[in-house]
Amino acid sequence: MLPAFIMKIFKFFIKTLNILRLLILNFFFWGIIIFSLVLFINKEEATLESNSILLLNLNGNIVEEKTALSPLTGLAGDYLNRAPKQEMRLRDIIRVIEQAAKDPKIVSIQLDTTKMGNAGFNSLKDISKALDLFKKSKKKIIAIQDNYSQKGYYLAAHADTIIMNPVGFVGVHGLSSYRLYFKRAIDKLFINYNVFLVGDYKSALEPFTRNSMSGRDKEQTRDWLTDLWGIYRNDIIAQRDLSDANMLYNYTHNLPELLAEVGGDSAKLAVQAGLVDKLLQRHQVSPYLKELSYNPENTVDFNQYLATIPPREYSSEKPTIAVAIAEGKILPGLQPAGVIGSESLIRIIKEARDDENIKALVLRINSGGGSAFASELIRQELLAFKAKGKTLIVSMGRLAASGGYWISADADQIWASPATITGSIGIFAAIPTFEKSLAHLGIYCDGVGTSPLAGATNISKPLTEPIKAALQISIKHGYRQFINIVSIGRGIEPEKVEAMAQGHVYSGKKALQLGLVDKLGNLSQAIEAAAIEAGIKDYNLIYLEKELSLQERVLQLFSAGLKSINTMTQISPEMAFFAEEVNKTQEFLKSPDPQGIYAYSGDYPY
């Protein structure tokens, strides 16, 4: 009797669990649907009136292609105190500014970068160029914020007037690049990190093999940081018409002394340094705008205004230039938006190749590379595109290094921003094994195989000498292949390529001097160059990118609202930062390269 009774209880328990599971799944499903419908129904339509102010509120990361999100991404981000940031496409920002410049109903731009997230310096330069063109339409730009971050201030410097709160500050402090190093931690965990690489400057693996930055990595990092800071500094001096060119140097090098002179008042210092024009409290902003004959009540924000812009006209009678976005790490196979999947990008390139109306392709690259295998597959498809007599132009974004350069080398022209980070011609393999970690716990691996290579991928035992030798030979072969690709694609002698390779990273400015890129300019200039190269004048412009599916769009909307769900389980910001740094450092190892060989440079934040 007792076993039967227990079985009944057990069955009832299982049945209850199934019912709960279905209820939870239905809750999430209908929650997503209702959440999306509410957002859609409540979406405000822009009512554009005369004498309107465009609120250029740059919220979130500025990207070339929006990343596909899922609710799990949002939940994981919340747990790490790092909820997914909103994303804005660079081309949408530029298009909004350009449209506003010729829109008679828009009389001014109010710039607000308070919530702006990550943005490459090249993106900031493109936006600033659009802002300068807006000012040429005889319309004013007013930057109004409590504080200014360094990147936000770069854009604000292009405004006619910069307004800040009397208790605010301008966070201009110079550029830096720091990362965490784990060698000692790895040793303490008894992990045997097997590294195979070619290139004295190839530093992507240094966090695993060192406890500090190597001298060569410091040298190359200092070089490109100096180039980028020089661009930033000179642009600020020119835009703000600073009579004392040394003021910015003093602001970043002697801040304590300068603050002492003004009694610690950072806002007063910003005005004296010529970085800010006016100090206003929040309630004083609206009356000030009215004094300038603007009506603050007639304000349309970025998303509202973007929705009013009609799509580009397309004519089947005209030839077409296509733009393909290649942003993120390079991985084999089909990948979601925000990651370069070899098969995903190949499909786009093939679409351009097979469309007789497409005469040129501009490949916009923002990537530090990834899988060498996937990079080569993409390059092969680009060569097939060119073999049909079509024009291929590469436009480099913030980063086009290692695998990102691998897929660039054969272009008819390579365009880069002076602030682009490129080069890093080199490859590596990295295989951690855990035989010592397991032995420390009293666990051992043993067995037999039919050859010295059998069981070579078993990470519970050390790599055999034959597999180590084979990997090093493969790495050397892959490096020579990379050198030859660059040599043939760029028309440079292999010896000269070898001298500038070695995994060395360069700014776009330096890459132009070395012949690794052809021209300095933005995406619009690269598109114009494609038209000239293809011999066409009047043309359609289309973007061939992986659009988010309906499911991905719904999930992305749903993810944006997840932050309030998981606040009770957040870890500390310090631990979240550490977890994020560890994840970024080892993320390239998630690339399932068939041979375990990577053309990856790292992300190079600054």
Say yes or no to pLDDT of 315 above 90: no
Listed ranges 33-47, 382-396, 573-587; the one with the highest mean pLDDT: 382-396
Please say if 395 is a catalytic residue.
Answer: no
Give residue for tokens 């609206």: 286
CA 292 – CA 146 distance, rounded (Å): 20
Looking at the structure, tell me whether residues 160 and 222 fall in a common domain: yes
Looking at the structure, tell me whether residues 256 and 378 fall in a common domain: no
Q: Is the alpha carbon torsion for 208, 210, 212, 216 positive or negative?
A: negative
3-state secondary structure of 137: coil
What DSSP character marks residue 44?
P
CA 39 – CA 42 distance, rounded (Å): 5
3-state secondary structure of 235: helix
Which domain does 235 fall in, by range?
52-176+212-308
Active-site residue (options: 149, 344, 371, 402): 402
Give residue for tokens 């709160």: 165
Query: Are the C-beta atoms of 191 and 432 separated by less than 8 Å?
Result: yes
CA 347 – CA 329 distance, rounded (Å): 17
| 413-416/391-401 β-pairing | parallel
pLDDT at 485: 97
pLDDT at 338: 86
pLDDT band, very low/low/confident/very high, at 37 (cuts 50, 70, 90): low
Q: Residue 446: inside a domain, yes or no?
A: yes
pLDDT band, very low/low/confident/very high, at 80 (cuts 50, 70, 90): very low
Say yes or no to pLDDT of 66 above 60: yes
Looking at the structure, tell me whether residues 264 and 357 fall in a common domain: no
Q: Residue 441: inside a domain, yes or no?
A: yes
Looking at the structure, tell me whether residues 365 and 462 fall in a common domain: yes
In SS3 terms, 278-339 reads as EECCHHHHHHHHHHCCCCCCCEEEHHHHHHHCCCCCCCCCCCEEEEEEEECCEECCCCCCCC
Burial class (CB in 10 A: 0-12, 13-18, 19+), 257: exposed
pLDDT at 565: 39
pLDDT tens across 362-380, in order?
999 999 999 999 999 999 9
Other Cβ atoms less than 10 A from the Cβ of 314: the count is: 10
- The more confident residue out of 100 and 27 is 100
Looking at the structure, tell me whether residues 76 and 127 fall in a common domain: yes
Q: Residue 275: inside a domain, yes or no?
A: yes
Q: What is the mean pLDDT of residues 236-249?
A: 88
Cα within 13 Å of Cα(454), Cβ side: 7
Burial class (CB in 10 A: 0-12, 13-18, 19+), 599: buried
Say yes or no to pLDDT of 417 above 70: yes
- What six digits make up the tokens of 160? 């006619």
CA 220 – CA 217 distance, rounded (Å): 5
Active-site residue (options: 202, 329, 509, 510): 202
- What six digits make up the tokens of 161? 């007037």
Q: Residue 18: inside a domain, yes or no?
A: no
pLDDT band, very low/low/confident/very high, at 71 (cuts 50, 70, 90): very low
Q: Residue 439: inside a domain, yes or no?
A: yes
What DSSP character marks residue 210?
-
CA 442 – CA 190 distance, rounded (Å): 13
pLDDT tens across 444-456, in order?
999 998 988 888 8
Number of residues written out for the chain: 606
Other Cβ atoms less than 10 A from the Cβ of 353: the count is: 19
pLDDT at 57: 96
The pTM (predicted TM-score) of the whole model is 0.84
**The sheet that has 299-301: what strands, in order across it?**
278-279, 161-164, 140-145, 106-112, 52-57, 299-301
- Domain end call among 286, 308, 330: 308
pLDDT tens across 250-294, in order?
999 999 999 999 999 999 999 999 999 999 999 999 999 999 989
Looking at the structure, tell me whether residues 334 and 303 fall in a common domain: no
Mean pLDDT, all residues of the chain: 86
CA-wise closest residue to 386 among 404, 361, 405, 408:
361
Looking at the structure, tell me whether residues 290 and 224 fall in a common domain: yes
Percent of the chain whose predicted confidence (pLDDT) is above 70: 81
pLDDT at 86: 87
Looking at the structure, tell me whether residues 289 and 337 fall in a common domain: no
Range in 9-18, 175-184, 408-417 the model is least confident about = 9-18
Say yes or no to pLDDT of 574 above 50: no
Say yes or no to pLDDT of 570 above 90: no
pLDDT tens across 504-552, in order?
999 999 999 999 999 999 999 999 999 999 999 999 999 997 655 555 5
Looking at the structure, tell me whether residues 238 and 380 fall in a common domain: no
- What six digits make up the tokens of 306? 């973007």
Looking at the structure, tell me whether residues 288 and 341 fall in a common domain: no
Looking at the structure, tell me whether residues 296 and 345 fall in a common domain: no
Q: What is the mean pLDDT of residues 196-225?
A: 93
Query: Cα 539 to the chain's mean position, in Å?
Result: 29
CA 112 – CA 148 distance, rounded (Å): 9
CA 95 – CA 504 distance, rounded (Å): 35
- Domain end call among 276, 308, 340: 308
Q: Residue 324: inside a domain, yes or no?
A: yes
Strand (E) or helix (H) holding 505: strand 505-507
Please say if 601 is a catalytic residue.
Answer: no
Say yes or no to pLDDT of 5 above 60: no
- Domain end call among 308, 342, 360: 308
- What six digits make up the tokens of 589? 């190892």
Q: Residue 171: inside a domain, yes or no?
A: yes
Q: What is the mean pLDDT of residues 578-583?
A: 52
CATH code at 75? 3.90.226.10
Which residues on neighbouring strands pair with residue 432, listed in sequence order?
193
Q: Residue 191: inside a domain, yes or no?
A: no
Looking at the structure, tell me whether residues 423 and 347 fall in a common domain: yes
Per the structure, the count of domains in the chain is 2
Say yes or no to pLDDT of 313 above 90: no
